[in-house]
Structure 1
Amino acid sequence: MCGNCDYTIHGRHHHFGWDNSLPPVQRVAPGSTLEFNCLDSGNGHFTRDSTVADVSSMDFGKVNPVTGPIHVDGAQPGDALKIEILSFTPSGFGWTANIPGFGLLADQFPDPALALWSYDAVSLAPALYGSHAKVPLKPFAGTIGVAPAEAGLLSVVPPRRVGGNLDIRDLAAGTTLYLPVEVEGALFSIGDTHAAQGDGEVCGTAIESAMDVALRLELVKDANLAMPRFSTPGPVTRHLDVDGYEVTTGVGSDLMEGARAAVSGMIDLLGKWRGLSPEDAYMLCSVCGDLRISEIVDQPNWVVSFYFPRVVFS
């Protein structure tokens, strides 16, 4: 709980998709602090008793709910909304799923799969992945944005220049994010909170987990940002670095195919090295492994690498 926040925005004040005609649930002055009750990306569909059959019964018209919108007094197109991410209060429960038709390797993984997570919401000790591994946690908000200028109801799934479903794991406590404002009041919303995620979120889901988020909202007048930018308070991978990495690569003229090859190679390696099933390896890669562009100048071929932290097996 954020005992010192100026406002609490309850989870019932959520919406699906971006729409600049939505009435704000709260109007705030720049400099205000707010605590948002954020639902998980499945809108509470999964529980501790869920089974893999529940993956197919999700209502895909109600995924990635975001809490808000918030009208920030004085915000005008051309300004930037400065978001200071203060803290996260996690729920202690999460889920990861392979959803048929979704994810980097959707063609290779046509069947649903589900992993349920129980973690210590206070200590944030590494979370057990069955009997296979322990994943270090780093809470963050996957979807964080302001309303686009484009009229009508727009999907929340793709990210946009005004933010949205960015899925950047470094938007964690202590980070400051700047978003371009396109409409009066900015109309800020947040949700899709994660307990952990690898860069790339390759199977399409992280450790999806409801939690409360405390923020401070400020304005930067006439910033004229082209795209989101952010600053972090310090190192961003020290929760994973301690035991080094195993790395697979993809080399070729197409970055997407390189990414697919690098992840496929890691799934094969985890099967041989640790005896994981392809489905378990794929979901584990999504919550703690990192896709990186290692080389993009030596045409005609580029190098994509996939880093898997050995600490999860320590």
Structure 2
Amino acid sequence: MCLGDDPTCAAFAEHRLRYRRDMEPERRAFLKSGFVATGGAAALAAGGLSLVSPALAQSSGSRLKQTAHYHLPANAETVHWGYFSKSLKPQVEIASGDFVTIETLTHHANDDAERMVTGDPGAESVFLWTKEKKGVARRGAGPEDSKLGPGGGLGVHICTGPVAIRGAEPGDVLEVRILDVAPRACANPKFKGRTFGSNAAAWWGYHYNDMLGGKKREVVTIYEVDSSGERDWAKAVYSFPWPGVTDPDGRDHPTIDYPGLPVDHTRTKRSFDVLKGIRVPIRPHFGTMGVAPAEAEMVNSIPPSYTGGNIDNWRIGKGATMYYPVAVPGALFSVGDPHASQGDSELCGTAIECSLTGTFQFILHKKADLAGTSLEALDFPMIETSEDWVLSGFSYPNYLKDLGADAQNAIFQKSSIDLAMRDAFRKMRQFLMQAKGLTEDEAISLMSVAVDFGITQVVDGNWGVHAIVKKAIFSERPA
């Protein structure tokens, strides 16, 4: 029976709505946990309340065969650390409509290896670093012969993938439905039943040059999350000032300047009296998720761009759907940078960086079917939840193209909230006019009275502003 995932079904709309109701928190005990994004239901309403119209769903669904479900673990063989690349060999090739459960690891797990690495074979293989061997040698998009090792640490996120979608070509749109998000439980018997994450108030944070008394410092806070999903909040366990690290190759790191540095806690001064009595609401999501860009061979994972990547919007969690413009054959989807929770802005440098596992469904919409649809002009990553459409604006919409040959360096000096706000405004104006048929004057009025603009992040090189419009606004407007 169709569960709202087969657009060829004659009762597709009815089943889609039924699935949405079933996914509501009061309908399933599991969803009463914090491990459901605030965005709400997994499936989206048909009949004008989704970017995918019934006609487009029918066209895309006509190509679907019997769906398959794959599992992609996270280990040293299946991850790429700190970059996207159009030349990466796919870890799995799937058809449109298929499901993939993908494990993701936080690149901050070595902030407390005892809680986030020890006993976990996948994590241990990725974070392995001795004088003799490095589990994942390339970390970043830098040169092979960097003094810090291949990649030079120019990019930090551990990304699992890529997943190739059979038949995907530039000009198509890839729909990615996030059906489930679950925490990766600690494998160390000392901490059974718990999951942990790390928040680093670091040198790249917005706060760093504005510390009271002018005393700059980096501070890491370790948080505990309930791996059963029964508790919808996280709590701080302890914090410590960055002690400086000498890596296994003998290099000193007085700041957090390279991904995956192993912290020696015999050198740290841990404070367990931190954030007492404070519960941090859980918002599990993936900070870095997207497809490979076409403009460069290897692209730093830190700045987001038109193909997604490190957007760092907490709404990209369970129940949300992402739409990406396909830039290279196969799309080459990767996901990483898992977060237990984050506020808008990710102000101090990171979220609660916490390993998660997601289950996704991939639907390919071919360019030939997009004419006259809401997705026809999509040239940026877009979020859809049961209640909202969320558009992502960046300081530079496609910084790889906008800033020329030195784009991957220049972007870190040129970003501003003003530029990101301008981009979000232009994208929302285009969306309201093209997808909803408003005039420019109508769109501008509606943006001022009913659209919420917010700061997505100010720490990723290419800063972000998101624009949120409620679907309910259009409930009486003809489709």
Q: TM-score, normalised by structure 2?
A: 0.46
Residue matched to 1:86:
179
Displacement of 1:255: 4.8
Residue matched to 2:111:
46
Task: Deviation per CA, 1:14-53: give whole Å up to 9, x if none.
Answer: 11201101111110000110011101132x3222658xxx
Is the CA contact (8 Å cut-off) linking 1:139 and 1:172 kept in structure 2? yes
1:119 to 221, 225, 241: 225
| SS in structure 1 of the partner of residue 208 of structure 2 | coil
Residues 291/200 of structure 1: CA separation in 2 closer, same or farther (3 Å cut): farther
- CA distance in structure 1 between the aligned counterparts of 2:379 and 2:279, rounded to whole angstroms: 39
Aligned residues: 233
- CA distance in structure 2 between the aligned counterparts of 1:9 and 1:108, rounded to whole angstroms: 42
Identity across aligned pairs (percent)? 34
Is the CA contact (8 Å cut-off) linking 1:178 and 1:230 kept in structure 2? yes
What is the Cα-based RMSD across aligned positions, in Å?
Answer: 2.7
Task: Deviation per CA, 1:230-268: give whole Å up to 9, x if none.
Answer: 2112489xxxxxxxxxxxxxxxxx857xx9xxxxxxxxx
What aligned pairs does 1:229-308 form with structure 2 within 5 A after superposition?
229-234=382-387, 255=417, 292=454
Residue matched to 1:218:
363
Task: Say yes or no: does 1:154 pair with 2:338.
Answer: no
Task: Say yes or no: does 1:199 pair with 2:344.
Answer: yes
Is the CA contact (8 Å cut-off) linking 1:197 and 1:206 kept in structure 2? yes
2:158 to 61, 65, 85: 65
Task: Say yes or no: does 1:35 pair with 2:101.
Answer: yes
| Higher Rg | 2
Residue matched to 2:380:
227
Displacement of 1:123: 1.4
Is the CA contact (8 Å cut-off) linking 1:79 and 1:224 kept in structure 2? no
Is the CA contact (8 Å cut-off) linking 1:48 and 1:116 kept in structure 2? no
Residues 107/5 of structure 1: CA separation in 2 closer, same or farther (3 Å cut): farther
- CA distance in structure 1 between the aligned counterparts of 2:163 and 2:417, rounded to whole angstroms: 37
Is the CA contact (8 Å cut-off) linking 1:200 and 1:291 kept in structure 2? no
Runs of 4+ off more than 3 Å: 290-293
Q: Which amino acid aligns with 1:97?
A: A
Unaligned runs of 5+ in 1: 51-57, 237-253, 260-289, 294-303, 305-314
Q: Which has the higher helix share?
A: 2
| SS in structure 1 of the partner of residue 299 of structure 2 | coil
Displacement of 1:119: 1.5
Task: Deviation per CA, 1:55-114: give whole Å up to 9, x if none.
Answer: xxx9882621110001100100001110000111113210101122x0112212421101
Task: Say yes or no: does 1:14 pair with 2:79.
Answer: yes
| SS in structure 2 of the partner of residue 174 of structure 1 | coil
Q: Which has the higher strand share?
A: 1
Is the CA contact (8 Å cut-off) linking 1:39 and 1:65 kept in structure 2? yes
Is the CA contact (8 Å cut-off) linking 1:78 and 1:224 kept in structure 2? no
Q: TM-score, normalised by structure 1?
A: 0.68
Residue matched to 1:103:
205
Is the CA contact (8 Å cut-off) linking 2:208 and 2:217 kept in structure 1? no
Is the CA contact (8 Å cut-off) linking 1:5 and 1:35 kept in structure 2? no
- CA distance in structure 1 between the aligned counterparts of 2:323 and 2:388, rounded to whole angstroms: 19
Residues 124/142 of structure 1: CA separation in 2 closer, same or farther (3 Å cut): farther
- CA distance in structure 1 between the aligned counterparts of 2:453 and 2:197, rounded to whole angstroms: 23
Residues 69/132 of structure 1: CA separation in 2 closer, same or farther (3 Å cut): same
Residue matched to 2:470:
none
